[in-house]
């Protein structure tokens, strides 16, 4: 378990771009389950779409990547600092199966597939209830910045 205060210490993202509200469980170095409460107050809903609010698919992928980052930091035993940035290196096989709307709770399940030469590869899935909303293979890397 990790609450929002612990997440804020790990991830550099802030409103409106922090997309993980709570970590439900973590199997150290292997997998993580986190959630994002999707509310009508999200700033992207005003334009996507005014007549039928739907969470953009790229933001579901971003929520999965932020969840993956928390797993990577746990695996490495590090707390990132102002000189560390966690980047996407690739997204493969992204599929969107169900729209995510205000009032939904997005449950993100991420498993570390492999880690090699500083590149992490994850299998990631976002669910609403028992339905898959989004799934993809994510590749991420950490870099030091000046």
The whole-number mean pLDDT for each consecutive block of 10 residues of the chain, a chain of 146 residues, reads 95 95 97 98 96 98 97 90 89 98 98 95 98 98 87
pLDDT digits (tens, 9 = 90+) for 69-101: 999 999 988 888 888 888 999 999 999 999 999
Indicate whether this model's pTM tops 0.85: yes
What is the spatial distance between Cα 58 and Cα 40, in angstroms, rounded to a whole number?
18
Q: What is the pLDDT at residue 145? A: 87
Q: What is the mean pLDDT of the chain?
A: 95
User: Hey, where are the domains in the chain?
Assistant: 4-144
Active-site choice (5, 13, 48, 51) = 48
48 is an active site residue: yes
The CATH fold assigned to 4-144 is: Thiol Ester Dehydrase; Chain A (3.10.129)
């Amino acid at each position: 378990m990790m609450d929002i205060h612990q997440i804020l210490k790990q991830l550099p993202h802030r409103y409106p771009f922090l997309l993980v509200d709570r970590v439900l469980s973590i199997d150290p170095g292997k997998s993580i389950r986190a959630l994002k409460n999707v509310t009508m107050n999200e700033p992207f809903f005003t334009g996507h779409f005014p007549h039928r609010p739907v969470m953009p698919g790229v933001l579901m992928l971003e929520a999965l990547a932020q969840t993956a980052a928390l797993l990577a930091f746990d695996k490495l035993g590090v707390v990132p600092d102002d000189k560390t940035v966690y980047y996407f290196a690739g997204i493969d096989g992204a599929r969107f199966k169900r729209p995510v709307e205000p009032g939904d709770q997005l449950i993100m399940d991420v498993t570390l597939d492999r880690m090699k030469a500083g590149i992490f590869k994850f299998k990631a899935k976002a669910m609403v209830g028992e339905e898959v909303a989004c799934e993809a293979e994510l590749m991420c890397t950490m870099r030091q910045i000046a």
